[in-house]
Structure 1
Amino acid sequence: MMKNTIRLLSSLFAGVACISTAYAQHSPVKSVGNVNDVKISEQQVNITTQNAYAEVAVYSPSVIRVRLDKQPLAPDFSFAVFAKPQQTKATINQDDNQVSITTDSLKLVITKKPFTTTFYTPDGRVISQDEKGLSTSWVNESVTTYKHMQDDEHFIGLGEKTGNLDRKGSGYTNWNSDTFGYRTDQDPIYSTIPFYIGIHHNLNYGIFMDNTYQSDFNFGASNNRFSSFGARGGEMKYYFIYHKHLADIITSYTALTGRMKMPPMWSLGYQQNRYSYYPDTEVYRIAQTLREKKIPADGITLDIHYMDKYKVFTWDKNRFPDPAKLTAKLKDMGLKLTLIVDPGVKTEAGYPVYEDGLKNNIFIKYSDSTNYTGQVWPGWCHFPDFTGEKGRTWWHGQIKKYADVGVSGIWNDMNEISTWGQKMPDNVIFDYEGQKVSHLQAHNVYGLEMARASFEGYRKALDNKRPFILTRSGYAGLQRYTAIWTGDNRAEDDHMLMGVRLLSSLGVSGVAFSAMDIGGFTGNPSVALYTRWMQVGAFTPYFRNHTQVNTKSAEPWAFGEEALEIARNYINLRYRLLPYLYSSFYEATQNGHPIVRSLAINYTFDPKVYSVAYQNQYEFGNAFMIAPFAGADTYGTVYFPEGNWYNLYNDEMIAGKQEKISRISTQQLPVFVKESSIIPMQSLIQSTAEKPTDTLTVHIYKGSRNNSFVYYEDDGESYNYENGTYYKRTITYNAAKRQIVFGKPEGSLNSKFKNIKVQLHGFADNDKVMLNNKSANTKTEFVSFLTPISTFDPQGVANVAEGHNVKSLTFGNSNSQITLGY
């Protein structure tokens, strides 16, 4: 009886095995399969499997790249990744069952039957692993990698994506799209950054999938088993990044994809825009009103109505008869001019730009070698091929025309590519650095390469001056060339708050210089919403007010005297904070850390920061925490992460790890300062062309944690800083030693400030201050961060005018180390 049972079970198992084998052979899904061959060479492993070819390379101690394809791997190429692999000590071993790769920061184990990957910490904890039974597979030409979804895993990043900060439970598609007035849950929108960070069990890791085809990311949408990432064509290529601290993951990601250059100082000032300001007399009126009403500003932007019938690289001679005179007069007023530029070149005989493009054969083409024609603002257009050097070089020559008349900034628009109908055919061919690919592969990278062409051309045209470049569309690595804004948003409260999350997500994804249209592009904001948005805008990287045609005017004076006064107060504060902001941008050039920082960056394992209730809160640099609320909100709950926090306006100290209900005032944006913060400020100026007084004021907030801040200056306009012409010193707060140290300056530039004034917040009356080991005389001062409003309700006056007393002392800005003790 027992023998018969065994024979029966054996037959059943054999039958199941045959069915499984047959199913696998005829399945529409092709898996990687078992490993057949392994070749090890220094930092790289090349693997052949039943159905694929794999290459696994150590890029640095914390970064490993995985490549997979159904065919032998082509030479590696990327528009995003410029970094080369670092020489890294890596131990690679194999046996019959697995291949292991170990660095001093992480370990990767590749199983052979079948091919799967698992990433471990050095002490053996699982960071990330392929989902058992799924791993990587193909459906036709689409390739997807499936990762096991950990318990309570959070996902953040992916750049410009709507929805919640935490991507858990959602899916996303990357296909750059022109999405006028997009919904707060619409996907995709304008740009593609296929990089995200996973967080679980006090671990965090990053994955960057470098593939320019349409791609899809799934973080548990319609399944409870896996997270996944994949593309509709091309190979599977991803970089796995592991660090203990989330901020270091951003640093490693931007080491791969590049970091921004220092922006021109003027681009950090307030920018006034509209679709559109014309003719030139209207531009002069706007400029003069800004100055008359004492609204600090540095730029005015012109939309498409400055062109002759929307044709790129032209001027409407009736509206703008003398562009050079316009830019010169604005310069005299301390204002720079930025122009919109679209990629479409009108197919019009006799139009010099079109004729030159034909002559130089730089337009994208159908597969039969005829130029592709699509309709956009000027009518039927051809489009330069920015994915090849020839097209970019041609663009350099055209764009010089704007530099020659004094234009300082270039705003790249409609570069998804956008055409009426939004259906560019798949059979359009792009150069793609000599590889000749279809629209399917080139689409997502077109905006990046247009921004690159604009940056490179304008940098060349301006000689040693820094250009300002803005883009609507892009791909991973865009931070090397351009700032980005979040497109055609709506004048609605939920769009303002979503805009904050978009900037936070872009920051996590390596983009430090970002913006949203303040006040909303479509529609008309209420006075309360406009006022709140202007307050929030003062704490964003690029501060641009913008509205579309056929809406009400949206300049600060258009919403009444109280709104004007509040907006001016926060613009004033922005200009006083420029030393802090400029130094924060310098940090971004060094380590990729953003200006707008999701609380997840510094408080990664605090579950409250992922709560929908608090996901809009963010840090502005490393000192401020901003808590945005809807314009009409009168009460709101703020979450304070670990540590102590100061109310910016009255120095009230608030303990962390608590939620606190607060009254929300129209006159005040809730802003808090982290304990131990170091914040350099200057006197009020009306534009960055104006010099502040010769005293730098450094605000220091007493705390229990050590902190340091790298204060940075350069000339604000050239690239001389790359050759050492800068002024930099590290300011250190040591809580245990009760000491504040201004380190010795570095660089060959002298500071523009002759004196340093230190203002000490939260220090007790009995804290006696020592300057370089000698007793220092301090005085108590009333400090107000906002100009008091004197003409409105007493409650509002009290809220805005409320200040606080602080200890202060002033000393010369010595080139030696300066030490304060207390």
Structure 2
Amino acid sequence: MPTLLDNLRDSIRLIGAQNLPAVLTYPLHKAWAEVRSGPAVAPHFLHTHSIWPLSWQKPGPIQGFTPHARGLTLGTANSNIEITLLAADAVQVRCLPTQHRPAPPLPYALAQPLDTWPIPPFEILPQGDAVFLLTGELAIGALLKSGALLFADAAGRLLRADIDMGWGRDGAVRHRTLLHEDERLFGLGERATPWNRRGGTHILWNQDPAGYKDGDDPINLNIPVYVSVRPGDGPAYLIFYENTHYAEFDLGAGSPQAADHRFADGELRYVFIAGAVPTLLERYTELTGRHALPPLWMLGYQQSRWSYYPEARVRQLAQDFREHEIPCDAIHLDIDYMDGFRVFTWDKNRFPDLPALAADLRAQGIKLITIVDPGVKADPAYAVYRSGKAGGHFCTLPTGEIVHAPVWPGNSAFPDFTDPQARAWWGEQYRPLVEAGVAGFWNDMNEPATFSPTGPTTLPATTRHSLEGRGGDHREAHNLYGMLMARASAEGVLALRPDLRPVVITRAGWAGVQRYATSWTGDNQSTWESLRLTLPLVLGLGLSGVGFTGPDIGGFAGAADGELFTRWLQQATFMPFYRAHTSLGTPDQEPWSYGEPYLSINRRFIQLRYELLPYLYTAVWQMATRGWPMVRPLGWLDRALWDVDDAFLCGDALFVAPVMEPGITSRKVRLPAGTWYEFWTNQRCRGGEALTVYAPLETTPLFVREGTVLPLGEIGPSVEQRPDRFLRLHLYPLAEAGEATSWLYEDAGEGFGYQQGERRVSRFVMQRDDTHLHVAWEREGTFEPPYVHIALTLNGLRRAPQEVRADGDVYPIVVSDPVQRTALLSVPPFTELDVQL
């Protein structure tokens, strides 16, 4: 076990001895800054544990109601409760005290103003001791005596009962609801807690617990949204609280049958959505926005560590990928590429010609991504600091002095990203890196995190923020900081490079961050426990609207052995963000670092990733157009499997059961209902039953859903250097007579031509009867893919087909493999395919 002295030595080594005085004295400066503004401004919860009011004011009985264009307002003795319909299945609720009315939240989370949503048909129905607001899909009942709100679906099934609202004199607000006995709760952003959030108390306050472990709460990216599901045919709903302040959600920890949501300040405002889970995500991301389509190369393999330098090492790394015949699309440069950790600079000794390096890597198909932190070194000789100070772009204290806090460069200033002028200024600072050819930007430390030996590692609570000119302090702006840094970065890079899709990766965020950035799951550990945490983390983010994410493969803190790295790589092959990363002072953690057999296995899975790119890009297109994450819980297809947290769906058709224990050569899985094909053998398996699957190190359990047309591409050194001679279509027949649909999305993979129709959306409709398998290929859009041949593989066949026709012409079977149960042939792009079984 490391001793206290060991930990102190490590800390000095990481942050630098020259920064140690600033780090050690920061808690005193921070506390003094908060005390100077008066005790009412420096809340308890930022120092130790939250202290909530001993008593709460409550709305009390409903005394009347007033209809309005989108719903109705309920009046009580001391408040108004506004109920506003957004759609037939979505409603906003606001509790507005008549005496203490907090400033409404700024609409950072919203993709469009709520008053632009079409007004759905509805009726208001008073009935005895209640009044009901009815649409075709939702019923909201207000009980006049108690003030409780009931939410039911079109079938009359009770979804949620909100039994209590309240507010304290210090501005805190509270919301209590009853929970069904069999109710599961998923989401709340990025959490290192059990997949089902019920039974726990969860803090919503972005922070950096470097090297987090199971149970650490909170971590980097918190979003006050969760999905409620019940097994079997039970209904589902989503609830989103539009409040950025510190919060604690007791989801059945204090009382098993109730959830208690508390915010330190701000308005009690929430959106309730009813429907099936895919519909919930579609509606929620209509509200908060969706991921933009990334460039296709962002789905390629990416390599990082703290840190690759000097330039010669980066060049050698790129050469090593090519010599080992392992595809790679991006190399990341961590903080040591900078000049003294000054953001938007590079060390001219370590990187004497960064533009030439970026150009040479680009010629090999490899992009350069650099880290960018928000802390700007307080150095009068540093142009970024001077211009930020002169423009008034940094956060200040109530006294007007700039807030300084220690991070990597030492004492630093922090841009106020709630100020539109500061966002524009920050975006312009990317110009030197953009002009040098850097392709993407990795926003780190943006919770915001600071260095402090005690207490909260962030800015003082009294730090002032513009909040679009309204004004406010860090208690309201803290959780917004990472999202708005990502916004400033994305908007700035797009302005500087308007023909290319901006690439921003963020560690912290809030609701709506997906409009500006992808994410990763922060600084994990190189342990099997951390590998097991990865899937609940990614699933929770996906159900919170942040679908493009993934882990540091191999773990960040510590040293992975070959087996752990390979198993992590296998899991991440089916997740959007595909990057290996490790910390300072750890052994090499590249795919070849562990020798054989790991090198060959790692190569095969990275190559498989590139083969799957047409399918994965289609899943990302669904994310961008419908809000569906690529990584989906099994309950997405089979409601009996909502509790499963060690297997997942990748897109519409792939079931993945990663191995997450050392020394394992088999594992149990339970497939969703229906028929599935084992990917490696094409063996047909029945869903809904427990199976033991062979899983030696060189493989991972992977199944394909029946009725799937699985598009695959060719392997190349990088996305841009892949051959494009043909498209491979793997057909997995329906087990019985019926129909199934598959999708394929294609565009140029870069730029914005797809927004003007330069895209192709293919719909494959498979039909089967006793003697024939029929596939109709429907196309929409003007994009013309480069391939002219289709390599067709029929999988899971018990015998070779008698005949295959494409648009009426017969094509010979080139290879028939009874062991693999496959038949291969080449056909031109077709409209109708008919297979005589």
Q: TM-score, normalised to structure 1's length?
A: 0.91
Partner of 1:7: none
CA contact (8 A) 1:190 1:474 kept: yes
Q: Which of 438, 459, 484 in structure 1 is aligned with 2:473?
A: 438
The aligned runs of 1:284-295 (5 Å cut-off) are: 284-295=315-326
1:682 corresponds to 2:696: no
Aligned-partner Cα distance in 2 for 1:46–1:554: 59
Q: Which of 28, 31, 34 in structure 1 is aligned with 2:55?
A: 28
Partner of 2:739: 706
| Deviations 1:391-432 (CA, angstroms, capped at 9, x unpaired) | 100011101221111000000000000011204211101111
The 10-residue stretch of structure 1 (745-754 or 764-773) with the greater mean CA deviation from structure 2: 764-773
Q: Which of 248, 270, 292 in structure 1 is aligned with 2:301?
A: 270
Aligned partner of residue 223 in structure 2, secondary structure: coil
Q: Which of 764, 789, 804 in structure 2 is aligned with 1:755?
A: 789
Partner of 2:586: 551
Partner of 1:812: 828
Tell me: CA distance 1:649–1:713, structure 2 relative to 1, closer, same or farther (3 Å). Answer: same
Aligned partner of residue 359 in structure 2, secondary structure: helix
Partner of 1:325: 356
The aligned runs of 1:328-477 (5 Å cut-off) are: 328-421=359-452, 422-477=457-512
Cα distance, 1:560 vs structure 2: 0.9
CA contact (8 A) 1:143 1:231 kept: yes
1:494 corresponds to 2:529: yes
1:109 corresponds to 2:141: yes
The 10-residue stretch of structure 1 (157-166 or 412-421) with the greater mean CA deviation from structure 2: 157-166
Cα distance, 1:73 vs structure 2: 7.1
1:66 corresponds to 2:93: yes
Q: Which of 572, 575, 578 in structure 1 is aligned with 2:610?
A: 575
CA contact (8 A) 2:426 2:492 kept: yes
Residue type matched to 1:316 in 2?
D
Q: Which of 554, 558, 564 in structure 2 is aligned with 1:529?
A: 564
Cα distance, 1:584 vs structure 2: 1.2
Residue type matched to 2:822 in 1?
V
Aligned partner of residue 750 in structure 1, secondary structure: coil
| Deviations 1:410-464 (CA, angstroms, capped at 9, x unpaired) | 0000000001120421110111112211111100010000001111111111121
Aligned partner of residue 616 in structure 1, secondary structure: coil
The 10-residue stretch of structure 1 (69-78 or 213-222) with the greater mean CA deviation from structure 2: 69-78
The 10-residue stretch of structure 1 (756-765 or 716-725) with the greater mean CA deviation from structure 2: 756-765
Tell me: CA distance 1:467–1:442, structure 2 relative to 1, closer, same or farther (3 Å). Answer: same
Aligned partner of residue 93 in structure 1, secondary structure: strand
Point out where structure 2 has 5 or more consecutive residues left out of the alignment.
1-52
Cα distance, 1:376 vs structure 2: 0.3
1:188 corresponds to 2:218: yes
Aligned-partner Cα distance in 2 for 1:337–1:426: 36
Aligned partner of residue 706 in structure 1, secondary structure: strand
Partner of 1:10: none
Aligned-partner Cα distance in 1 for 2:334–2:345: 13
Partner of 1:230: 262
CA contact (8 A) 1:530 1:631 kept: no
Aligned-partner Cα distance in 2 for 1:768–1:119: 57
Aligned length: 769
Cα distance, 1:480 vs structure 2: 0.8
Tell me: CA distance 1:773–1:482, structure 2 relative to 1, closer, same or farther (3 Å). Answer: closer
CA contact (8 A) 1:29 1:137 kept: yes
Tell me: CA distance 1:144–1:776, structure 2 relative to 1, closer, same or farther (3 Å). Answer: farther
1:615 corresponds to 2:645: yes
Residue type matched to 1:36 in 2?
Q
Aligned-partner Cα distance in 2 for 1:782–1:488: 48
Aligned partner of residue 535 in structure 2, secondary structure: helix
Partner of 1:207: 239
Aligned partner of residue 316 in structure 2, secondary structure: helix
| Deviations 1:611-643 (CA, angstroms, capped at 9, x unpaired) | xxx411001111111111224223321112211
Aligned-partner Cα distance in 2 for 1:368–1:169: 44
| Deviations 1:589-609 (CA, angstroms, capped at 9, x unpaired) | 111111111112222x20x44
CA contact (8 A) 2:184 2:196 kept: yes
The aligned runs of 1:284-323 (5 Å cut-off) are: 284-323=315-354
CA contact (8 A) 1:508 1:601 kept: no
Partner of 1:151: 181
Partner of 1:787: none
Cα distance, 1:27 vs structure 2: 7.4
Tell me: CA distance 1:740–1:386, structure 2 relative to 1, closer, same or farther (3 Å). Answer: farther
Q: Which of 86, 101, 108 in structure 2 is aligned with 1:79?
A: 108
CA contact (8 A) 2:131 2:143 kept: yes
Q: Which of 772, 779, 783 in structure 1 is aligned with 2:813?
A: 779
Aligned partner of residue 434 in structure 1, secondary structure: coil
Sequence identity (%): 33
1:637 corresponds to 2:637: no
Point out where structure 1 has 5 or more consecutive residues left out of the alignment.
1-25, 784-801
Cα distance, 1:140 vs structure 2: 4.1
Q: Which of 111, 121, 129 in structure 1 is aligned with 2:153?
A: 121
Cα distance, 1:761 vs structure 2: 1.2
Cα distance, 1:195 vs structure 2: 0.9
Tell me: CA distance 1:626–1:813, structure 2 relative to 1, closer, same or farther (3 Å). Answer: same
| Deviations 1:168-189 (CA, angstroms, capped at 9, x unpaired) | 2112111000110111111000
Tell me: CA distance 1:782–1:473, structure 2 relative to 1, closer, same or farther (3 Å). Answer: farther
Aligned-partner Cα distance in 2 for 1:531–1:515: 15
Cα distance, 1:527 vs structure 2: 1.5
CA contact (8 A) 1:778 1:808 kept: no
| Deviations 1:722-756 (CA, angstroms, capped at 9, x unpaired) | 01111222111234595543434222221122122
Partner of 2:78: 51
Tell me: CA distance 1:501–1:803, structure 2 relative to 1, closer, same or farther (3 Å). Answer: farther
Aligned-partner Cα distance in 2 for 1:424–1:341: 18
Tell me: CA distance 1:383–1:711, structure 2 relative to 1, closer, same or farther (3 Å). Answer: same
The 10-residue stretch of structure 1 (369-378 or 751-760) with the greater mean CA deviation from structure 2: 751-760
1:177 corresponds to 2:207: yes
Q: Which of 246, 250, 270 in structure 1 is aligned with 2:281?
A: 250
CA contact (8 A) 1:107 1:121 kept: yes
Aligned partner of residue 238 in structure 1, secondary structure: strand
Aligned partner of residue 585 in structure 1, secondary structure: helix
Aligned-partner Cα distance in 2 for 1:773–1:721: 29
The 10-residue stretch of structure 1 (214-223 or 569-578) with the greater mean CA deviation from structure 2: 214-223
CA contact (8 A) 2:181 2:257 kept: no
Q: TM-score, normalised to structure 2's length?
A: 0.89
The 10-residue stretch of structure 1 (276-285 or 208-217) with the greater mean CA deviation from structure 2: 208-217
Cα distance, 1:767 vs structure 2: 4.5
Partner of 1:141: 171
Partner of 2:634: 599
Cα distance, 1:818 vs structure 2: 2.6
Aligned partner of residue 54 in structure 1, secondary structure: strand
Cα distance, 1:821 vs structure 2: 4.5
Cα distance, 1:519 vs structure 2: 0.3
| Deviations 1:271-330 (CA, angstroms, capped at 9, x unpaired) | 010100001000001001001110100010000000001010111110011111010110
Q: Which of 577, 599, 602 in structure 2 is aligned with 1:564?
A: 599
Aligned partner of residue 29 in structure 1, secondary structure: coil
Aligned-partner Cα distance in 1 for 2:769–2:59: 56
| Deviations 1:745-783 (CA, angstroms, capped at 9, x unpaired) | 222221122122221112342644453574734426378
Residue type matched to 1:405 in 2?
A
Aligned-partner Cα distance in 2 for 1:485–1:668: 25
